[in-house]
Amino acid sequence: MDYNKLAELLFPEIDKTPADYEALYPARDKADDAIITRLGPSPTGFIHLGNLYGAFVDERLAHQSGGTFYLRIEDTDDKRYVEGAVETIINSLKFFDINFDEGALLDADGNQTEVGSYGPYFQSNRGPVYQAFVKDLVKQGKAYPCFLTEEEIAAIREQQEANKETTGIYGKYAEKSRNLTFEEIEANIAAGKPYVVRIKSKGNKVDPAHCLECGKSCESKYGYSFENRDGVIYIKVNDAIRGELAMPANEQDVIILKANGIPTYHFAHAVDDHLMRTTHVVRGEEWLMSLPIHVELFSFLGFDLPTYCHTAVLMKVDDETGNKRKLSKRKDPELSLDYYRNEGYHPQAVKEYLLTILNSNFEEWRAENPDADIDEFKFTTDKMSSGGALFDLNKLNDVSKDVLLKIPANELADFMIGWAREFKPEVLSLLEDKEYLTKILDLGRNDNKPRKDLIYAKQIFEFIKYFYAEHFTIEEPYPEQVSEEDANEILKRYLATYDHSDDQSQWFEKIREITADLGYAVKPKDYKKHPEDYKGSVAHVSTAIRIAIVGRSQSPDVWEIQQILGEEETKRRINALIK
């Protein structure tokens, strides 16, 4: 077979060669240890925690090393394209402070653009590039057109299943297609028969045609090695997260170009990551299985393997069964990144939490460096878990409490306002009184044992809403030790003696007086010892007052709350309950 002739028959319009593209996309002008990473999402419009998890690894590796992080849109499967998906990807990640240096990006006006000299960054615009590489493989006799119809493939599969053999097109099952003559191929094409292009896999049995003809293990020059295990060739690849991976070499004549001229993921991955000079491929463990295919493709194409980093699947403990399972789009709203924005999680809290599940030594580092900027932590792939990473919303909430405590109240106020503008516009005008909001958010945070009640914007608003007259309601009854009648009397006296300029001890002294006058114990321990002598204690009297001012039995210090509410509103609330 004249492979040159065959290549021209299949790709008459392709006049560029791999060498042309190598020249067009030269090695990046970066230090040797600079890491180049990419995110390659399909534009389906759904961006999830797994994407963020991977993007975070990409971003850290690139930016810690002075490298580049770029966005490539993997839109070869055009059925899945959703309008606006690229904007969603970029904006969702930007919210978490994950920014790309290069690729399919947005300009200052929010319009799509491409930045960088390794594009196009939409795979759908790279057709001629892929075809040039396929053409070259055909020329070298490493790839061939295959005209098998769906029915023929189904029949082969049936036979393989009956024989309990591996399914697919390989070995003797590939022979018919591999051995078509030039004339037969030409006639098929003239007849308009659709075809795909497959690689001519070397198979995984030790045989003289393979580089393992010596029958011993050896190093490939492309960044992996082979091993002969009882006549089966294994490939060995060092994964930056998982260490050495050994898997039987590929034996399938996998498709590299589909009948519509569009490459498969496998082929696009090899060509793009090579030409875009990606050094580290961070991707989900669902791709592990395909690694032998990628190894064979890279060696056929003469490319060095990138460093693979196969991340663990995100798991959670199922609320009902108590068992670990994968996060599911259907069952777990927290899988979607929108969830965190809607609920108003602070991006720093989510980042901080992600690092605790990403790197086993992060918590220790944080304990030693409580005030350090998160970006000072040296993230490494070898501290990543290769088993399922466990995601736990309660843990996120705990982390969030600590993170929010470190954010100054006025910045937190800006964050709350930004959140309300987008997700709770009906309260925006209230929160926009920033001075007032800042005082509220600062309440109880400056003590030795600061309060940790603030978790995420939606919860924070619920937590502080009693400060806003429109949202203030009495949510709990008076304590049972305080009768309606007594409550009325407590509030009457409280109002009568109320002086907004009292300091905290003067204020509390007045409560003590009311307590004693009405037959309650001034010292709670007296009431505990002799409950028969009192109606209750100062704690119950204070709670009755708290219910009137705050509407709840638990809250920060009432005196401080009153100082924020102001004299008028404080008196109005007490008055409103006096009968």
For 355, the token pair is: 């690092």
Binding of residue 41 to ligand GLU (CB under 6 A)? yes
Return the number of the residue (57 or 396) whose C-beta is nearest ligand GLU.
57
Minimum CB distance to ligand GLU, residue 221 (Å) = 23
What torsion, rounded to 10 degrees, do the Cα atoms 130, 136, 140, 143 define? 30
For 309, the token pair is: 């980093």
Return the number of the residue (283 or 439) whose C-beta is nearest ligand GLU.
283
Q: Is 97 in contact with 351 (CB distance < 8 Å)?
A: yes
For 218, the token pair is: 């050896």
Q: Report the alpha-carbon distance of residue 238 to residue 246 in Å, rounded.
A: 9
Binding of residue 42 to ligand GLU (CB under 6 A)? yes
Minimum CB distance to ligand GLU, residue 160 (Å) = 28
Q: Which stretch binds ligand GLU (CB under 6 A): 34-42, 114-122, 159-167, 413-421?
A: 34-42
Closest CA to 297 of 281, 314, 320: 281
Compute CA distances 84 → 89, 111, 121, 334, 549, whole Å: 9, 10, 16, 22, 47
Q: Which stretch binds ligand GLU (CB under 6 A): 36-44, 55-63, 392-400, 418-426?
A: 36-44
Q: Which stretch binds ligand GLU (CB under 6 A): 37-45, 173-181, 293-301, 472-480?
A: 37-45
Interactions with ligand GLU, residue window 451-510 (CB under 6 A): none
Q: Is 114 in contact with 121 (CB distance < 8 Å)?
A: yes
Minimum CB distance to ligand GLU, residue 289 (Å) = 13
Return the number of the residue (63 or 283) whose C-beta is nearest ligand GLU.
283
Binding of residue 306 to ligand GLU (CB under 6 A)? no
Q: Report the alpha-carbon distance of residue 575 to residue 315 in Å, rounded.
A: 53
The burial of 217, by beta-carbon neighbours within 10 Å (0-12 exposed, 13-18 middle, 19 or more buried), is given as middle
Q: Report the alpha-carbon distance of residue 544 to residue 196 in Å, rounded.
A: 79
Minimum CB distance to ligand GLU, residue 39 (Å) = 7
Q: Report the alpha-carbon distance of residue 575 to residue 579 in Å, rounded.
A: 8
Interface residue with ligand GLU, options 58, 74, 136, 296 (CB under 6 A): 74
Q: Which stretch binds ligand GLU (CB under 6 A): 39-47, 59-67, 326-334, 541-549?
A: 39-47
Binding of residue 126 to ligand GLU (CB under 6 A)? no
Spatial CB neighbours of 232, under 8 Å, sequence gap ≥ 6: 204, 205, 206, 248, 249
Return the number of the residue (291 or 431) whose C-beta is nearest ligand GLU.
291
For 284, the token pair is: 């989900």
Minimum CB distance to ligand GLU, residue 89 (Å) = 11
Interface residue with ligand GLU, options 48, 135, 266, 283 (CB under 6 A): 283
64: left (phi over 0), alpha (psi -120 to 50) or beta: alpha
Return the number of the residue (58 or 332) whose C-beta is nearest ligand GLU.
58
For 207, the token pair is: 């045989």
By rule CB under 6 A, what count of residues binds ligand GLU?
6
Binding of residue 40 to ligand GLU (CB under 6 A)? yes
Closest CA to 383 of 365, 368, 370, 403: 365
Binding of residue 59 to ligand GLU (CB under 6 A)? no
Return the number of the residue (41 or 263) whose C-beta is nearest ligand GLU.
41
Q: Which stretch binds ligand GLU (CB under 6 A): 35-43, 156-164, 398-406, 564-572?
A: 35-43
Binding of residue 279 to ligand GLU (CB under 6 A)? no
Sign of the CA dihedral with 50 first, then 53, 59, and 61 last: negative
Minimum CB distance to ligand GLU, residue 77 (Å) = 9
Q: How many other C-beta atoms can be found within 10 angstroms of the C-beta atom of residue 161? A: 10
Return the number of the residue (42 or 252) whose C-beta is nearest ligand GLU.
42
Minimum CB distance to ligand GLU, residue 274 (Å) = 13
Q: Is 434 in contact with 410 (CB distance < 8 Å)?
A: yes
Return the number of the residue (288 or 539) whose C-beta is nearest ligand GLU.
288
Q: Which stretch binds ligand GLU (CB under 6 A): 40-48, 144-152, 216-224, 416-424?
A: 40-48
Site string for ligand GLU, 259-278 (x = CB under 6 A): ----------x---------
Q: Report the alpha-carbon distance of residue 504 to residue 216 in Å, rounded.
A: 84
Q: Are strands 218-219 and 225-229 parallel, antiparallel or unpaired?
A: antiparallel
Which positions lie near ligand GLU, rule CB under 6 A? 40-42, 74, 269, 283
